[in-house]
Amino acid sequence: MSRIRHHRFIQSCLVISTLLITLTGCQVESEPKTKLEQIRERGILRVSTLNNQLSYYIGSNGPTGLDYDLAKAFAEKLEVKLEITPAYTYSGLFPALERNEVDIIAANMTITPERLQKFRPGPVYYYVSQQVVYKKGSWRPRNIKNLTQLDENLTIVKDSSFEGTLIKLKEKYPNLDWNTAADTDVSELLKKVATGEIHYTLADSVELSLTQRIHPDLAVAFEVTEDQPVAWFLQQTEDDSLQALLIEFFGELKESGKLALLEEKYFGHVESFDYVDTRAFIRALESKLPKWEPLFKKYAGDFDWRFLAALSYQESHWNPLAKSPTGVRGMMMLTLPTAQSVGVQNRLNPEQSIRGGAEYLRRIVKRVPDSITEHEKIWFALASYNIGFGHMMDARRLTQRLGGDPDSWTDVKDNLPLLRQQRYYRYLRYGFARGDEAQNYVENIRRYYQSIIGYEQEQANKLKQEELTVEDLQVIDAPLSSAEASVGQAIETKK
């Protein structure tokens, strides 16, 4: 081969190589990015959820809720910001996912055959059952056949999983009828059952338990389904990158015990329900709490004032002159030595008592070991408030001996009643204690606290509805421009 031909051959090879590199580069650039890559490139995880006391709401310290906490942790794993778009009804959730306006629906929703046809579920993180709910004092249906024989109406949320359940039941019970309500949610229908506006509705077991803290007249007629899995939902595509990371994320949470901690935080206290006590508490919310609310807010400090109020109700039922045979006195039921240690001169003075009780609790929280998760320290502190710090530490030691986690409130609270039994307390440093009372004490306060939150939310919603005029409603019904819609979404995100 001559030098000229050899030179031309090399030039041709270089041209072809450059062309191939260019073409390959174009192919790489033209390949569509995975869902996970899109989120990371955007720097934002977009999550839609329901605005309620389980999934997401604005608390005294900002956004909170089970699904919010989980979504926040997942965004941190992705190293992106979290953008929450709250919805108020089920009907507002899935259309946004279909339009690719959000990446995930995280709203304590059950996996149903209808949803599986269009959407992809994430890992299951807890279970609920569907229940027929009625008002105490009215006639209680015992089964589906009873419902078919009634003139009273059964009303459910439109486009909810309950609708699919009833459609299937109608195949076996042709006379089964129901009404569907759009632009509402389960909590609103439960409230209507409690007030007698409707006779029956369907709700999941967890949501009913939470709502009973505000409306104790609600009761379970019977269960319609077995336990059903609850999960997040994604778009139904061939791209499984986001789902794969979700599986890894929930797997890590379960293995580390963090998922159990979150579930304990949000509904570990709803297992038992005392109808008489809850009714009395709701009456006290309306008649007594407004008088003492300013003092709880004044001395709460880093605590949520509603939490301090719940503690005070457990102690004295908000009676400033409360006394017990054991020598404790006042709104926070302080012993004389405790009162003296926090500078309280008159235990029957409500302001002094609330200030002293808050300070005493604050000191106990500081003593709780740092190995305990921050949001669970308060439960251990409350147990100490009731039976003493030494007995609480004994319960932790006993839990460890029995193979449990001494830093987990779930494990320790189950072992607190053992402090009464001689075969256990004889080997403990501080001996006998009424641990079962401490267990009930803490769980009662948690229930009262949740009731105050739910009651406040309900009152706020009621006030907003009353403030709406006809003109306001006409404006709300008017379609938003794209600019107005984006501003509205930004405001909700900041909330």
Active-site hit among 315, 359, 467, 492: 315
Give how far Cα 10 sits from Cα of 2, 5, 13, 18, 35, Å: 12, 9, 5, 12, 43
Q: Report yes or no: 136 and 219 within 8 Å, Cβ to Cβ.
A: yes
Dihedral (Cα; 22, 24, 30, 33), 10-degree rounding: -130
- Helix (H) / strand (E) containing 144: helix 144-148
Residue recorded with tokens 């009152």: 459
Amino acid at 204: D
293: closest CA among 244, 333, 351? 351
Residues contacting 308, CB < 8 A, separation 6+: 296, 299, 300, 354, 357, 358, 361
Report d(CA 400, CA 407) in Å as an integer: 9
| DSSP annotation of 217 | T
| DSSP annotation of 8 | H
Q: Is 315 a catalytic residue?
A: yes
Coil, strand or helix at 335: coil
Strands annotated E in 115-225? 119-121, 126-128, 130-135, 155-157, 179-181, 201-204, 218-223
Report d(CA 373, CA 73) in Å as an integer: 15
| DSSP annotation of 43 | T
**Structure tokens of 495?**
């909330």
Largest CA distance in the chain: 116
Q: Which DSSP string corresponds to 454-484?
A: HHHHHHHHHHHHHH--HHHHHHHHSPPPHHH
**Structure tokens of 119?**
């959407």
Q: How far is CA 143 from the centre of its chain?
A: 30
Q: Report yes or no: 53 and 450 within 8 Å, Cβ to Cβ.
A: yes
Q: Report yes or no: 255 and 436 within 8 Å, Cβ to Cβ.
A: no
Q: Report yes or no: 50 and 263 within 8 Å, Cβ to Cβ.
A: no
**Structure tokens of 242?**
């986001």
303: closest CA among 430, 146, 115, 449? 449
Report d(CA 353, CA 291) in Å as an integer: 15
Q: Catalytic amino acids?
A: 315
